[in-house]
Amino acid sequence: MAILVNQDTRLLIQGITGREGQFHGQQMINYGTNVVAGVTPGKGGQTTLETVPVFNTVEHAVRETGANTSIIYVPPAFAADAALEAFETGIEVVIIITEGVPTIQMMKVFHEAKRLGKRFVGPNCPGVISPGLAKVGIMPGHIHKKGNIGVISRSGTLTYEVVWELTSAGLGQSTCVGIGGDPIIGSTFTDLLALFEKDPGTDAVVVIGEIGGTDEQDAAAFVRDQMTKPVVGFVAGLTAPPGKRMGHAGAIISGGEGTAQEKLAAFEACGVRTAKLPGEIPGIVKELLGSTTA
């Protein structure tokens, strides 16, 4: 089992004829993802990546192919409109890879998704992968291994590092989700923890946080109050100086809030085991799974 994407995913690529859409579209196809359509306005009627039909609109693509998931590789100025177009046509899950999308535009996307009951991940994220089932994003598929550990992360590259540590230790993953590092994102730690809690194919979850905001504190409280499955936390940025943004637009400590120390303390206060280094995570996961099955 998995969350968000699986063997039933019928993927539509918005911006398929661009450089990123072409490269990562081929990588997703090579991984085994069922890419059924692409959309680039003005280029409808073409075929790309050997077998994928291109349409002018998402509405036409969904009607002809039954696409149920979309991934967005369009430029920042048009990414929000692309997401809104996907919501309006019945697409259930939208993954926004694009970075640099104006925050004020993402606020509209966020509220429209809530109004319509749609789910999106991103922007400025690596995407979602359910190993062995579907890859919808830009992550390197070969480092993942099918298994029962869920992974949620604000950092793309840290996701890859932690996944490789898990895979090397023989711990496969059910689904790995990069939620993105922007101030306004579609799916939070708590949103995804709730999905993993309900997923019978997930036995434990790794949460990878970073400085800025209070999402990790919210996640810690959710684990304490709602989770029955073990959760391991890791927070990057212990040495980050206050007032400096570190990589992501959302990774900034403001008014003394959002420090790594504060987030780690919240995890520990709520009973979430934490790791100081990514390499410690597999051992903690194995320990917790052993204690829950004993």
pLDDT digits (tens, 9 = 90+) for 209-240: 988 888 999 999 999 999 999 999 999 877 66
Fold (topology level) of 139-293: Rossmann fold (3.40.50)
Q: What is the CATH number of domain 11-121?
A: 3.40.50.720
Per the structure block, which two tokens stand in for 110? 């966020």
Q: Report the distance separating Cα 203 and Cα 141, nearest Å.
A: 21
CA distances to 70, 86, 96, 205, 262 from 223, in Å: 30, 32, 27, 10, 17
Tell me if 69 sits within 8 A of 95, measured CB to CB: yes
Q: Give the tens place of pLDDT for each residue, 100-156.
A: 999 999 999 999 999 999 999 999 999 999 999 999 999 999 999 999 999 999 988
Report the DSSP pairing between strands 127-130 and 134-137: antiparallel
Task: Give ranges for CATH 3.40.50.261 in the chain.
Answer: 139-293
- Per-chain mean pLDDT for the chain: 93
Q: Report the distance separating Cα 81 and Cα 123, nearest Å.
A: 13
CA distances to 102, 180, 220, 253 from 163, in Å: 30, 16, 21, 27
Edge to edge, the sheet with strand 134-137 lists: 134-137, 127-130, 173-178, 146-153, 204-210, 231-236, 273-274
Q: For this structure, is 248 an active site residue?
A: yes
DSSP H or E segment with residue 30: helix 19-31
Torsion sign, CA atoms 51, 55, 61, 63: negative
Catalytic annotation, pick one of 24, 60, 142, 248:
248
